[in-house]
A = this chain, B = another copy of it.
C-alpha cells in the first residue's frame, strides 16, 4: 500500500537533502515548513516503517526501501510536471505546485500511461532527471551554478530551481530556461549584480537568481561531443 501524503512528502524532503548532502532534523523541518518537533516525530515514524536509519541523536539516512520509495515519488512528481507542461500547456512556473499535490493522487497505471505518452522522457521541464521505474539509486548530474561561472564563459542552462514560483517566472521571462545558451558578461564588485547575455539581450541578476540556475559549460559540452 502507498504511504500517506505526509509520509510521502517527508520522504521526498529527506531524499532531496540526502542528494544535496546534508540531512538534519531542522533542514527537514524547514523544507517541509513544519516545526522541528514535528519533523523529529515523523523521522521516528519513518524509521519504524523501515524507510530511514536513525537513532535518537544520530544522523539520518535513507534505507534501501527508503530510496526506492522516494525515487518512486520523485518519478511521479517529475512525470506529472512534464505532462502538465508538454501536454496540458501549463507554464514552467505553474507545474511544480500542481504536481506537488497530484503526485499523491495518480495511480501507477496513470503514471506509466503518461510516461508512454511523453515518449519516456529523461528529464523534466526544469531539467531534473526522471528516475526510471523501480530505480534504486540516483545520480546527480555534474552541473555548475551560474553564480560560479567565470566572466566571459558561455554555458548551456540545464536546470532551473522549481521551488520559488515568482523567481522562476522571472527567469523564464528572461529566456533563462533549460536549453538556453548564456554568457557571463560582467560581475560587479562588492556583491553587485552580474550581467549575463541570453538570446542577445543582457540582464542584471542577483545572487539568489544566479544560484537557482545550473549549467553545463560550453567547453565541457564540446568535450562531450568529441568523445
- A binding-site residues for B, Cβ under 8 Å: 84, 87-90, 94, 97-98, 101-102, 104-107, 109-110, 113-114, 117
**Among B94, B104, B109, B113, which residue has its beta carbon within 8 angstroms of that of A109?**
B94
Contact call A113/B88, Cβ cutoff below 8 A: yes
Q: Report copies per complex.
A: 2
A187 to B40, CA, bound (A): 66
Q: Which residue of B lies closest to A89 (CB)?
A: B113
A104 to B103, CA, bound (A): 12
Closest 6 CB pairs of A and B: A101-B105, A105-B105, A102-B105, A98-B110, A98-B107, A88-B113
**Among B97, B98, B114, which residue has its beta carbon within 8 angstroms of that of A88?**
B114
Q: Which residue of B lies closest to A114 (CB)?
A: B88
Which of A94, A104, A110, A114 counts the most chain B CB atoms within 10 A?
A: A110
A94 to B112, CA, bound (A): 14
Closest Cβ of chain B: how far from A132's Cβ, in Å? Answer: 21
Contacts of A90 in B (CB 8 A): 109-110, 113
**Among B87, B98, B104, B106, which residue has its beta carbon within 8 angstroms of that of A87?**
B87
Q: Which residue of B lies closest to A5 (CB)?
A: B5
A-B contact sample (10 more), CB < 8 A, given A88-B110, A97-B107, A98-B106: A84-B110, A88-B114, A89-B113, A90-B109, A90-B110, A90-B113, A98-B109, A101-B107, A102-B106, A105-B105
